[in-house]
Every structure is written in C-alpha cells, then in structure tokens.
Chain A
Amino acid sequence: MPRVLIIAYGNPLRSDDSVAWRAAKALRQKFSPNEVEIHCLHQLAPEVAETVSKFPRVIFVDAASAPAGHPGEIRVEKLRNIEGKDSTTQFFHAVSPLAVIRLAQSLYRVKPRAFSVTVTGQDFGHGEALSPVVESALPHLVSRIEALVRDADEAS
C-alpha cells in the first residue's frame, strides 16, 4: 500500500490550469505505484475525503491565479489547523484541500500530513499548452513534489 497520495487537479483544456496534470505525468515516471498513488481530477469534491483517508501523507497540486504570487512562482504550504474548532466551511462549486482534509478527519478520524503545492499561472484561456513561464517552472514543481515524497520516505 503506497504511503503517499498525490492529487493533481485542474482543467487540462484551460492552458496553465493543466500544469498539475502535467506534473502528475512526470511524477509517474519517477515513482512506482507501490510508492505513490497519483490521481488526476478536474476538481476537488467531498468524495475525495474517502480516498484521502487511506493515506498518511497527501499532496495536493494545482495552479494558482493572481494575486497568489507572480507567474511561475511555486508555493508549498503545509495544511495546518485541521483540528480547528471552527468547522464552518462553505461549499462552493469545488471544495478546497483544507476542506477535504477536515472532512476526512471528521468522518474517518484520520490525520494525514497534508500539503498544498501550487504554481501561479499566467494564462487560463482555452488551450492545451502551458505558458512559457509555467512551462519553465514545471521541472521545479516536479522537484518540489518529489522532495515532499522523499521526505515522507525518510520519516518512515
């Protein structure tokens, strides 16, 4: 049973929003299915909480839009405060990674170590290609995720 779950989400037909799926494709070349399980989704939904509940470490990967950094900027955030008493969570068209983790904790009584890794996009128009700046950032994005996975290996 793999110990790390990577959830790459975004719309593969909206240019930079496909970056997570592209990263997932590269990561499948680096890790075996026994080490890491990788899912590509269009968006997060409450059902993802069940999948997340089965792994001790979860990494969410997505494109971010301005003003979350300048295009190509990579951010890694540890999803903290998942035991916060304030459980108010709005249910929009899609849920956030933190909401998924909270739901997993609430329903399945698990506390996975969870991270959000994003790269700020520049172009979210219709298309299948990444913008040059995000294309350049892709190898670094993959490396940052790989480091999080290796860190899990060392911690075990």
Chain B
Amino acid sequence: MKQGSTIVIDPVTRIEGHSKITLHLNEDGRVEDAHFHVTQFRGFEKLAEGRPFYEMPSLMARICGICPVSHLIASAKACDSLLAVRIPPTADKLRRIFGLAQVTQSHALSLFHLSSPDLLLGMDADPAKSNIFGVAEKHPELALDGIRLRQFGQKIIERLGGKRIHPAWIVPGGVSEPLTEANRDAILWSLPDALAIAERTLEWFKSTMERFREEISTFGNFPTMFMGIVKDDNGLTFYDGKLRIVDASGHVVADELDPTQYSDYIGEKVESWSYLKSTYYKPKGFPDGVYRVGPLARMNVADRCGTPRADQELAEFHELQRTAVLSSFHYHHARLVEILYCIERMEQLLNDPEILSKHVRAVARPNALEGVGACEAPRGTLFHHYKIDEQGLIRWVNLVIATGHNNLAMNRSVLQVAKHYVHGNRLTPGMLNRVEAVIRCYDPCLSCSTHALGQMDLQIQLIAPGGEVLDEVRR
C-alpha cells in the first residue's frame, strides 16, 4: 500500500441508501482522517413547494420505503398544526399503533437482514456469504425469526393502512378509516408469537456480546450528548412528547424542550464532501454540540419504558455503564429492547375500549400558516416543518431527518474504528468490514436524510483521461 494514500470503501454495504467511506493514511500507513460521504440527493423540500398542504403526508411518505410511516406521522402532525386541530383520541392511539408496527419491522430489518451476518458469521466472514442468505444457511432458525418479525410488523401496517409500503391512511386531522374489530383481533392474535421472537432474540444477542468486547470498546465509544422525545413521565415514546438531552455522564442538559421550536436549539451545517447535513446542539456550537439520536439515545434519555418486560430490559441496559451507555455497538441491544416495548405497547393500545371508535378524524380548514410535526422514527428524532400561503399551498419546507442528527457521530465513529483496525500496510476484508459495521450500528436511512440547507457548496471538475484538471467551477 502506497504511503500517504486513500482507501475508498465504495459502496458501504448492508445499509439503506448510497454512500462511501474514505480513509486517509499518513506516510506510516496509519489512518489519519476519515469521512462518511453520502452520495445521493433527493430534494423533497423543493419539489413539495406549490403542492396543497393536505398532499404532504402521502408525498413525504415517498421519501422512504422502510420508514414511510414515520414521515406520514411527522407530516400529518405538521398539518394538524396548520389546521390547528386536536385529533380524536382514537386517532391518536391508532397513529401510535401504526408507528410502533413500523418501528418493529424496521428494527427487524436492521438487525436480522443487515447486521446479523456480522454478529452470527463474524466480522471477518467471507463478504459473499455475509448476507441474509448466508445466515439462512448457517442459522436458519434466526433467519426464520427475522422474516416472521418483519412480516408481523408489515401485516399490521397493511391491516391498518391498506398496504405495506406508502400507505395513505394517516391524514391531516387523524386517520382516514377506523379500525375494524376483525383487524384488531387479528393483530392481537399475532402478538404472542412476535413477543416470543423478540425475547429469544434478545437472549441470543446478550449471549453473544462477550465475543465482541473489542468492537464494543471501539465502535463509536466516545462521549456525546443524546437526544430523544420523552413522555411527561420521562418514559419512552415514539409519537409525542418533549425533547430531552442528556450528556455522556447521563446528566440532563436540557429538558422539556418544545419540538416545534427545534430551530432554537438545533443547528444544521452542510459539509462539502457529503449530501448529508450535520446537526448540532446550538448552545455548544459546531462541532462540540455533537449528539446522537435513535435507539441508543432513547435508552439513555428515557427513565422507563412503561411496559413490564421492556422496563426490565431497560433497567438491565442501564447497568451496562454507570454513565450514559456510550458505545454505538449497543444500538443493536437498544433496538431489541425497543422491539419488545413496541409489541407490549401495541397490546395495551389495542385493548383500549375506545380503539374501535368511528370518530377518527378532525376536519378543518387551515388556521395557521406554519406548522411543525415531530416524532421518533426508528432511527431517531424526525422534524417536518411547513409554511403555507393563504390558499393552503406549500411555500417552504424544512426536514430534519434522524440520520442527519447522527452524521457527526457517524463520522467520528468511522475514524475511531479505522484508526484502531486499519493498517495501510496490510489490509484485510475484515478490517474494512468493521469500518462499515460501525455505520450499520446507526442503521442510517440515507435516502431519507439527504436534503439541502440553503444553497449547497458545489464543485464541478472537468478531468482529462490522464487525470489533469482542465477546468473547475465552484459555488
């Protein structure tokens, strides 16, 4: 390996979306710097301009095929603000169930399909076998569990919303159709099997952690703040609440923040080498205001889950470290605790006597020209912010996506792993797979996350076949 050179991992595999990683080596062949480049751009904030606001939930759901429900929820909540309505209690509960089902299937995808090959077959396994098919060959029972858990979540989405991907059921003011008794009973009937899968997967995962001591100590194991939405009792929630930020010691930095005022405390920065914006906690500035969101953050900011088995597991999770739990490897563990919570919480909501009420939508005309909706997507806190004109047409959109909150931390994680494992003089697939694997801990959704802030830096080069730069344009 030539000294002072660059290693490029392109593409980063077994994540959602398109990206690459560059590792910059010094003359001794040691990693000196690293970047996680998100190479795709979507532009939903621009193409939504001019559309009627009531189209936004369905339009925004198209941002993603894995977590469209989160965009539906955040968008509908922003539209609820534009209407200035309080949605019916049954609609609130139904939206929650919808979101919980999506978190379950999304977390199942992340663990079983994307990360389990590393956990089951090892970080140094043949890349050609490191996929769901390799897992099915060696550990068919776990592959079966993964498929069944994903099917479980997707079927609930289909029963409630009419289809598994991009369902149009969540609308401004509530949901479009009430829940039928037959669908409620069918979902309740499916819960015990899903709960059993979640329990045994959690036990299996905890039994494997000993094999990954080195990865736990080097995969994004550094101090940051953590942010998440919590309920009034500081309990875990995905739908609604106040924002809470804790530091690496577990102490509360900010509490009861209004998510609709996110721009007061969350800043966004564009980097020239990625389409993914970086967010930071404004009072601490950039880049000291780095924080993480998602399952690990939610475990750190929440005092309780509010369901029996998940509460037991959360208490055990908090024992992993006296401070906040810092290593990003523990995102996998946190995801499993959240799956447990989602299933238990769905049972509570489905057994609510009001869940079959026909009153599921508040109807109004726009009563405000600006609205913000926030929720916890599987990957972290999600904000949708809209401004409309007097005719109800969208004039401005800002989306702050979960994966963007983690951009700073992901870049630091890549550098930490690369410095520990990668030696320029002797490269192995296992070294580079570990660099990718730390990104997988965050379960990024890059298709969701790439949006512009203002005018992006742009550099266009005209390069001759021999490598000579013939011309260059910068903005």
Contact = CB atoms under 8 A, between A and B. Distances in A.
Interface of A: 42, 46-47, 49-50, 87-91, 99, 102-103, 106-107
Contacts of B151: 47, 50
B133 A102 contact: yes
Interface string B317-361: 000000000000000000000000000000000000000000000
A50 B133 contact: no
A117 to B, nearest CB: 23
Contacts of B150: 46-47
Interface in B132-165: 132-134, 136-137, 140, 143-144, 146-148, 150-151, 154, 165
Interface of B: 14, 65, 113, 128-129, 131-134, 136-137, 140, 143-144, 146-148, 150-151, 154, 165
Contacts of A99: 133
Contact of B148 (A50, A88, A91): A50
Nearest to B113: A46
B135 to A, nearest CB: 10
Given A47-B147, A47-B150, A49-B147, A90 B113 contact: no
Contact of B128 (A42, A49, A90, A103): A90
B143 A107 contact: yes
B58 to A, nearest CB: 12
Contact of B131 (A42, A49, A91, A102): A91
A87 to B, nearest CB: 5
A128 B146 CA distance: 34
Contacts of A91: 14, 113, 131-133
A91 B137 CA distance: 14
A107 B140 contact: yes
Contacts of A42: 65, 165
A42 B113 CA distance: 19
A103 B165 contact: no
Contacts of B137: 87, 106
Nearest to A87: B137
Contacts of A87: 133-134, 137
A42 B164 CA distance: 10
Nearest to B149: A47
Given A87-B134, A103-B133, A106-B136, 14 more contacts: A46-B146, A46-B147, A46-B150, A47-B150, A47-B151, A87-B137, A90-B128, A91-B131, A91-B132, A103-B132, A103-B136, A106-B133, A106-B137, A107-B144
Nearest to A90: B131
A46 B132 contact: yes
27 contacts: A46-B113, A46-B132, A46-B143, A46-B146, A46-B147, A46-B150, A47-B147, A49-B147, A50-B147, A50-B148, A87-B134, A87-B137, A88-B128, A88-B129, A89-B131, A89-B133, A90-B131, A91-B131, A102-B133, A103-B136, A106-B133, A106-B136, A106-B137, A106-B140, A107-B136, A107-B143, A107-B147
Contacts of A90: 128, 131
User: Lowest 3 CB-CB distances: which A-B pairs, in order?
Assistant: A91-B131, A89-B133, A106-B136
A125 B116 CA distance: 36
B229 to A, nearest CB: 29
A17 B132 CA distance: 27
Nearest to A46: B132
Nearest to B114: A91
B132 A47 contact: no
Contacts of B132: 46, 91, 103
B194 to A, nearest CB: 14
A103 B112 CA distance: 14
B204 to A, nearest CB: 17
A103 B133 CA distance: 7
A16 B347 CA distance: 42
Contacts of A88: 128-129, 133
Pick the most buried of B14, B113, B132: most chain A CB atoms within 10 A of its CB.
B132
A79 to B, nearest CB: 16
Contacts of A106: 133, 136-137, 140
A44 B101 CA distance: 20
Contacts of A89: 131, 133
Nearest to B108: A47
A89 B136 CA distance: 11
Contacts of B165: 42
A94 to B, nearest CB: 10
B327 to A, nearest CB: 27
A49 B129 CA distance: 18
Contacts of A46: 113, 132, 143, 146-147, 150
Contacts of B136: 103, 106-107
